[in-house]
Amino acid sequence: MSDKLIIFDTTLRDGEQSPGASMTRDEKVRIARALERLRVDVIEAGFPAASPGDFESVQAVARAVRDSSVCGLARALDRDIDRAGEALKDAQRPRIHTFIATSPIHMQRKLNMTPDQVVEHAVKAVRRARQYADDVEFSPEDAGRSEEDFLCRILEAVIDAGARTLNIPDTVGYAMPDQFGGMIGRLIERIPNSDKAIFSVHCHNDLGLAVANSLSAVMHGARQVECTINGLGERAGNAALEEIVMAVRTRRDFFPCHTDIDTREIVACSKLVSNITGFPVQPNKAIVGANAFAHESGIHQDGVLKSRETYEIMSAEEVGWTANRMVLGKHSGRNAFRTRMQELGIDFASEQDLNAAFQRFKELADKKHDIFDEDLQALITEAGVEAEDECVRLVYLHVCSETGEVPNARVTVKVDNEELTGTAVGGGAVDASLKAIESLVHAEANLQLYSVNAITSGTDSQGEVTVRLEKGGRIVNGQGADTDIVIASAKAYVNAVNKLRTSKQRMHPQVGDV
C-alpha cells in the first residue's frame, strides 16, 4: 500500500489574495462545497482575524462542510489564534494553522525579533492553538530562505508543543526542485521527533516551479501539499491542485503515494472558481484548459484515432470534461431547477430566493436554448452581490453602433435610489457604454483589465465579462454575464463600482505587528 498524500486546498485563503479575487461569504461556501465533493482533505477557509467578513466566511464554511477538515490561518498572536478558534468552533474537524517568519531577513527587518524570541512565539502559539483544536499546523514563513539549523530547532520545538503538521513554505517562489526536495528530506532526517508530524509544503510560482518543487518534496517525504484550484494565488500564484493530483495519479509508477481526490470533479471545480473570481483559465492550461485534450496536428489526430494512448497520458473523462450533465431549458420546471442547483451545492435560504433565481433562469432560457451547469453557476454568481453593497444598479442601456458612424450609448442607472441618465460616445459599443456609466457614477478608477470569456459553446452562449478597477491602491474585479456582450460589460463595470464603494476591505494576512 502506498502512503496517502494529503491535499490541503488554500483557494479560499491564499487564492483570495490575488488582487481582485476577494469572495463573498456565500461564494466561499459554494466553493467549499465543491471542494468537499472533490474530496479535498483540508480546506483552508480564510484568515479569521483579518476582518469581520473573513471571520464570518470561515465560520460559515465550518458550519457547511462535514467531510473535509476546515482550517483557519492565524499569526503567532494570541488574538489571532483566539479568533480562529472561535470561527472554527462549529467545524466537524477543525484545524488551526499558525505561522511566523524564520528567515534572517524577515526576523530582522519585518519582525524585529531575535531567533530566540521567534521560537518562543512559535511554541506559545502552537500551545494556545491546541486549546481549540487537536489538529494544529505550523509554518515557518519564508522557510526557503531560512537557515536549516534554525529550522530544525524551531520545528522540533513546535512538535513538542503539539503541532502535528509542519508546513515548509517557499514563500517567495525562490527554490529549485532538487534544492527544495533535498531540504525537506534533510529536515525529516535531522529533526529527532519528525516521526510525530506530517511534513507539508506550500510553494509559490514566481519562477514557474511551484508544482515541480511540490512534487520534488513529495519524493523526499512530504505527505501534504498545499495548493489551489487553477493555481490561483498572489503574485504568480500557487501550485495547481489539479496538476499535483493528476501527476501523482498518472505516474503511479513513480510516486510512492496516492490521493483520495475524486478527479471527475476537477473541471467543474475549476470552472466554478474561475466564474466566481473572474480569473479565466488559459486555453493551454494543463488538465483544465480548453485545449488540454484537443488535437489539431494531423499526425496527433491520426494517432489518437488509432489508439488514444499514443498522445494522451490520461483521459478527459478522468478529470470531468465529458461528465454527463442535465441540460435545462425553457420548459424545465421549478423542481428540476432546484434539484440541479442542489447537485451543484447551491441551496436557497428561502422559497423567495428560489423563486427569484428561477425567474432569472427563465429569463435566460428565453435567450438561449440550452442551459448548462456553467450558465447556472454564472447566474448565481451574478446575483450574489449583497443588497447592502448594491449602491449602483443598471436600469437601462441603449447602444447604437454602425459602420462609418461613431458608436454612442445612452444609459440609465440607479445610484442610491436616484435614477440618473447619461450619454457618451466611444471607440466601440462597450467603450461608449462604460463611459456613459462613468459619467454618472464618478468612480474615477483606473481600468486595469477588461476580459471576455464565453461560458459555454455556441453563438447563443453567455459572455462573461471581467472588469478590474484600481483606485487608491485598492483593486476589485467586477463581473457580468449576458448573451449580449455589451450588456454583460455594463453589468461588470457596475459590479466593480459597487465593490469600490463598499467600505469592506480585507487585511493581507502577512501585514501586522507580529
3-state secondary structure 178-233: HHHHHHHHHHHHHCCCHHHCEEEEEEECCCCCHHHHHHHHHHCCCCEEEEEHHHCC
- Evaluate if residue 452 carries a pLDDT over 70: yes
Q: For 461-490, what is the mean pLDDT?
A: 89
Nearest Cα neighbor of 497 from 418, 419, 408, 385 is 385
Confidence of residue 152 (pLDDT cuts 50, 70, 90): very high
- Evaluate if residue 476 carries a pLDDT over 90: no
Q: Are 62 and 70 in contact (CB under 8 A)?
A: yes
User: How many Å apart are CA 293 and CA 274, to the nearest integer?
Assistant: 19
pLDDT in tens, 214-240: 999 999 999 999 999 999 998 999 999
Return the pLDDT at 405.
92
Q: Are residues 273 and 412 in the same domain?
A: no
Q: For 136-163, what is the mean pLDDT?
A: 96
Q: Which residue among 222, 247, 277 closes a domain?
A: 277
Considering only residues 453 and 176, tell me which one the structure prediction assigns the higher pLDDT. Answer: 176
Q: pLDDT averaged over the chain? A: 88
Domain membership flag for residue 133: yes
Confidence of residue 296 (pLDDT cuts 50, 70, 90): very low
Q: For 493-499, what is the mean pLDDT?
A: 91
**Integer distance in angstroms from the first to the last C-alpha of the chain?**
43
**How much of the chain exceeds pLDDT 90, in percent?**
63
- Evaluate if residue 387 carries a pLDDT over 50: no
Q: Are residues 58 and 203 in the same domain?
A: yes
Return the pLDDT at 310.
56
Return the pLDDT at 294.
67
Provide the CATH number for the domain around residue 86: 3.20.20.70
- Evaluate if residue 362 carries a pLDDT over 80: yes
Considering only residues 308 and 387, tell me which one the structure prediction assigns the higher pLDDT. Answer: 308
Considering only residues 295 and 120, tell me which one the structure prediction assigns the higher pLDDT. Answer: 120
Considering only residues 319 and 117, tell me which one the structure prediction assigns the higher pLDDT. Answer: 117
Q: Are residues 219 and 93 in the same domain?
A: yes
Q: Are 76 and 125 in contact (CB under 8 A)?
A: yes
Return the pLDDT at 445.
95
**How much of the chain exceeds pLDDT 70, in percent?**
91
- Evaluate if residue 5 carries a pLDDT over 90: yes
Confidence of residue 333 (pLDDT cuts 50, 70, 90): confident
Return the pLDDT at 512.
41
Domain membership flag for residue 104: yes
Return the pLDDT at 351.
86
Considering only residues 203 and 338, tell me which one the structure prediction assigns the higher pLDDT. Answer: 203
Considering only residues 375 and 253, tell me which one the structure prediction assigns the higher pLDDT. Answer: 253
Q: Which residue among 248, 277, 306 closes a domain?
A: 277
Domain membership flag for residue 333: no
- Evaluate if residue 324 carries a pLDDT over 50: no
DSSP letter assigned to residue 305: H
Domain membership flag for residue 332: no
Domain membership flag for residue 329: no
- In a 13 Å sphere around the CA of 93, the CA atoms on its Cβ side amount to 12
Q: What is the torsional sign of CA 211, 100, 234, 22? A: positive
Q: Which residue among 277, 298, 330 closes a domain?
A: 277
Domain membership flag for residue 200: yes
Q: Which residues contact 425 (CB under 8 A, 6 or more apart)?
A: 406, 407, 408, 409, 432, 435
Domain membership flag for residue 354: no
* Degrees, nearest 5: CA angle 112-113-118: 140
Return the pLDDT at 363.
85
Return the pLDDT at 384.
61
Domain count, the chain: 2
CB atoms within 10 A of CB 370: 14
- Rounded to 10 deg, the angle between the 148-161 and 177-190 helix axes is 50
Considering only residues 176 and 341, tell me which one the structure prediction assigns the higher pLDDT. Answer: 176
Residue with cell 480562529: 84
Confidence of residue 375 (pLDDT cuts 50, 70, 90): confident
Domain that holds residue 483: 387-501
- Poorest-confidence range of 31-35, 193-197, 298-302? 298-302
How far from 71 is each of 8, 129, 392, 413, 459, CA to CA, in Å? Answer: 9, 12, 35, 41, 42
Domain membership flag for residue 490: yes
Q: For 152-165, what is the mean pLDDT?
A: 98
Q: Are residues 269 and 393 in the same domain?
A: no
Considering only residues 332 and 119, tell me which one the structure prediction assigns the higher pLDDT. Answer: 119
Q: For 385-389, what is the mean pLDDT?
A: 46
Q: For 391-415, what is the mean pLDDT?
A: 94
Return the pLDDT at 300.
42
Nearest Cα neighbor of 237 from 212, 267, 266, 203 is 203
Provide the CATH number for the domain around residue 442: 3.30.160.270
User: How many Å apart are CA 45 and CA 156, to the nearest integer?
Assistant: 27
Return the pLDDT at 414.
93
367 φ, ψ (degrees, to nearest 5): -95, -30
User: How many Å apart are CA 299 and CA 187, to the nearest integer?
Assistant: 47
Return the pLDDT at 503.
54
Return the pLDDT at 504.
53
Return the pLDDT at 339.
85
